[in-house]
Structure 1
Amino acid sequence: MSSSVSGPFRADEVKTRYVETGGVRFAYRRLGPDQPADPTPVLFLHRFRGTLDDWDPAFVDALAATRDVILFSDAGIGTSTGEFADNVEDKARNAVAFVRALGLDTVDVLGFSMGGFSCQEMALSEPDLVRKVVLIGSAGGGSSEMDPPTDIVFPIALHPEYTFEDVRYLFFAEGREEETQAYIDRVAVRKDREPIVPPEGIEALQKAAVSFITGETKHFERLKEIEHPVLIVSGDQDNFFPAKNQWLLFRELPNAQLAMYPQAGHGPHQQHPETIAAQIERFLTHA
């Protein structure tokens, strides 16, 4: 399975914009067709340590060909101001405040990894604001049935800067060096880059992630309350959230679809950007 990817990409060039609410100035980027067939925007919520610049521009552009796409930076991340959120509930509240500051009353939400935690909380706490949910390389909170991550994945995720081998191990399947380098090359094109997440931000994000993954926040027990259509996208070689955990997530959600990509890691949309964007487009249109 492969995707043909070409450039240049609009995501490399779209300007960073800002909106202020509640004393926080949120950074975001927005792109899409002038008149999308479906007016509901898709809000992108990022992974642990992810900034606006870490989204794969090939994936963003592929979905933005038909959709109004909004890339969002939480408080304290990149050039967004405010205090870092150290729990999933506050991260979701920030996203909701941002959406409302843009004057929107309905969004589809797409979360990669930790961003998927916020998507679940948004669907639970603001069910009328969220229409559909896409979870990529994410998990359903803590459950005794879940398989643990590999022993080294979280220590690697905490490295001050990621090497090629770090990126390959964290986001791609073994043997996918070519796709890893292609992704690194794509995200390196943009020159006006957001600041990386500082140590205090990493600490806050880690606290939020651990409380969710270990079950402290009790989100797994509430998955059956999410009645929205949900698309779960996963790689079968995810070192963070093994394949069994995606089946558990699928089992608990009453209105879910599961797409498991073979020989793909934690970031399958970075390995198959156009293929997965097309699947998400079909889900948003027909589910």
Structure 2
Amino acid sequence: MGEMINVDGTEFWVERRGRGPDVLLVAGLSDPAEAWQSQLDGLSDRYRVTAFDNRGAGRTPLPEEPLSVPMMADDAAALLRALQVPAAHVAGFSGGSLIAQELALNHPGLVRSLVLMSTWARLDAYVRSMMGFWHWMAERAPSERAMLEAFFLWIYTPRAHADGTVDQIIEEALAFPHPQSVEAFQRQLAPFRTHDTLDRLAEITAPTLVLAGELDIAAPPRLGRAVAEGIPGAVFEVLPGEAHQPFQEVPDLFNARVDAFWREVEAQG
């Protein structure tokens, strides 16, 4: 079970599991902490795993002022300090990977290592247009179910659509008692769409693993490769046959890869 934690006057929903080296999981657009369930369950035998709801997702309120990626990175930093975590292995997915980039740039002492899944540093015209479509799709879709059915075409593999995985995820999302509003979806999406750290990536000093799904439409491997090329010493890997959210579709594979990376970092001292 999680709990609400007051961080600089804002109540954030936080879930923590296990003991060992600290890991902070940063979710992407719309996703609450529950998106990381397979990591909370599968990695907590070796790590102290923390997941939380970003502003405007799940149980954490949307602020009155505009959201920005640096603001959300400052939230993550303040949360780590509130939890008395001196430094953590930080894993961010999609929009959460952008937050993780800013966290490493603006609060480097808190970041032991970085895992950037389905990431980008600067969108190209194709993906920027795609996200523009998501913005108005959220308010024009005839129902929440229709919105999810359409949105998930960009998110999950054809395999997951065929074998019933996506249907199950949709049912779970519809049953979730803290759904994200259209306004919150659009206000989270806006800063992710305009995010640009391409010219600052060389300032990241944390050991970094960049992962991309071969079939990812929402954050194509070409964007992740550009991130890895910009960060000194970063390792770039493409997961064959996977799409935007392999940490959900193939959690054992994802967990094993990040565990191996974190073990390498820990061994280097």
Once the two structures are aligned, what percentage of the paired residues are identical? 22
Displacement after TM superposition at 1:255 (Å): 2.0
Q: Contact conserved, 2:87 with 2:110, CA < 8 A, in 1? A: yes
Residue 271 in 1 paired to residue 249 in 2?
yes
Over 3 Å counting, the alpha-carbon distance change for 1:43 and 1:152 in structure 2 is same
Residue 250 in 1 paired to residue 236 in 2?
no
Q: Which piece of structure 1 moves more, 88-97 or 70-79?
A: 70-79
Q: Contact conserved, 1:25 with 1:82, CA < 8 A, in 2? A: no
Equivalent position amino acid for 2:47 in 1? R
3-state SS, counterpart of residue 172 of structure 1: coil
Structure 2: runs of 5 or more not aligned: none
**Any idea what the Cα deviations from partners look like across 1:104-142, whole Å, max 9, x if unmatched?**
111111111000000000000011111101111111235
Alignment of 1:186-201 (within 5 A): 193-201=176-184
Equivalent position amino acid for 1:61 in 2? D
TM-score (norm 2): 0.85
What is the rounded CA distance, in whole Å, between the counterparts of 1:190 and 1:242 in structure 2? 25
- Kindly indicate whether structure 1 or structure 2 has the higher relative contact order, using CA contacts under 8 Å at least 6 residues apart: 1
The number of residue pairs the alignment matches comes to 258
Over 3 Å counting, the alpha-carbon distance change for 1:152 and 1:21 in structure 2 is closer
3-state SS, counterpart of residue 228 of structure 1: coil
Which residue of structure 2 lines up, in the alignment, with residue 7 of structure 1? Answer: none
Equivalent position amino acid for 1:227 in 2? T
Over 3 Å counting, the alpha-carbon distance change for 1:193 and 1:16 in structure 2 is farther
Residue 72 in 1 paired to residue 58 in 2?
no
Displacement after TM superposition at 1:200 (Å): 2.5
Displacement after TM superposition at 1:156 (Å): 4.7
RMSD across aligned C-alpha pairs, in angstroms?
A: 2.6
The structure whose residues are more often helix, as a share, is: 2
Over 3 Å counting, the alpha-carbon distance change for 1:248 and 1:152 in structure 2 is closer
Q: Contact conserved, 1:31 with 1:70, CA < 8 A, in 2? A: yes
Over 3 Å counting, the alpha-carbon distance change for 1:252 and 1:162 in structure 2 is farther
Which residue of structure 1 lines up, in the alignment, with residue 260 of structure 2? Answer: 282
Equivalent position amino acid for 1:66 in 2? R
What is the rounded CA distance, in whole Å, between the counterparts of 1:285 and 1:154 in structure 2? 39
Which residue of structure 1 lines up, in the alignment, with residue 42 of structure 2? Answer: 62
Alignment of 1:197-216 (within 5 A): 197-212=180-195, 215=196
Equivalent position amino acid for 2:96 in 1? G
Residue 173 in 1 paired to residue 154 in 2?
no
What is the rounded CA distance, in whole Å, between the counterparts of 2:180 and 2:247 in structure 1? 22
Which residue of structure 1 lines up, in the alignment, with residue 11 of structure 2? Answer: 25
Equivalent position amino acid for 2:100 in 1? C
Q: Contact conserved, 2:24 with 2:51, CA < 8 A, in 1? A: yes
Q: Contact conserved, 1:23 with 1:82, CA < 8 A, in 2? A: no
Q: Which piece of structure 1 moves more, 269-278 or 165-174?
A: 165-174
Structure 1: runs of 5 or more not aligned: 1-14
Over 3 Å counting, the alpha-carbon distance change for 1:51 and 1:191 in structure 2 is same
What is the rounded CA distance, in whole Å, between the counterparts of 2:226 and 2:202 in structure 1? 12
**Any idea what the Cα deviations from partners look like across 1:65-91, whole Å, max 9, x if unmatched?**
321111111234322246165110101
